[in-house]
Structure 1
Amino acid sequence: MSGTATKSGKRPSRSFTLGRQAFAKISAVEGIRMSRAMDAEFREFDRKGLSPEERRKAIAAKYGKLR
């Protein structure tokens, strides 16, 4: 049923992932920049070969709120 309209007449939403460079270009237009520390942290994730789930856990552990 890919590409067919739903009951509301709208097509189902599709998702995609932006790479870091594309995200940086969009963010620059919005006036948002990553700090040097954040950039270093993401390079470290790449160096370690962390999976998306491992990256999310590391970010949540560092920046998430304790409940």
Structure 2
Amino acid sequence: MSRTPTKSSKRPAKGFTLGRQGFAKISEIEGIKMSRAMAAEFREFDRKGLSPEERRKAIAAKYGKTR
């Protein structure tokens, strides 16, 4: 008997970006709530029109570990 080819269990090379609403729904199920301060920061990011990279840098600067 010949074996039929099976799909690889490897993940696709592309990533998946979860939107803000989707993340909020998952967080709600997990019991995770964003603090008022964090929500205010994200509103400020929106107001300033920061790019995703600029947002990541701002979050990392504030909450990231320094080495």
| Pairwise same-fold verdict (TM > 0.5) | yes
TM-score scaled by length of structure 2: 0.78
Alignment partner, residue 10 of structure 1: 9
- What is the Cα deviation at residue 15 of structure 1? 2.5
* Structure 2 unaligned blocks of 5 or more: none
Structure of larger gyration radius: 2
Identity of aligned residues (%): 75
- CA distance change for structure 1 residues 11 and 65 in 2, over 3 Å: closer, same or farther? closer
- Report how many aligned residue pairs link the two structures: 62
Cα distance per residue 1:24-53 (max 9 Å; x no partner): 111100010100110110111011000111
TM-score scaled by length of structure 1: 0.78
Alignment partner, residue 35 of structure 1: 35
Q: Over aligned residues, Cα RMSD in angstroms?
A: 2.2
Code of the aligned partner of 1:55: R
| Regions of 4+ moved over 4 Å | none
- CA distance change for structure 1 residues 11 and 64 in 2, over 3 Å: closer, same or farther? closer
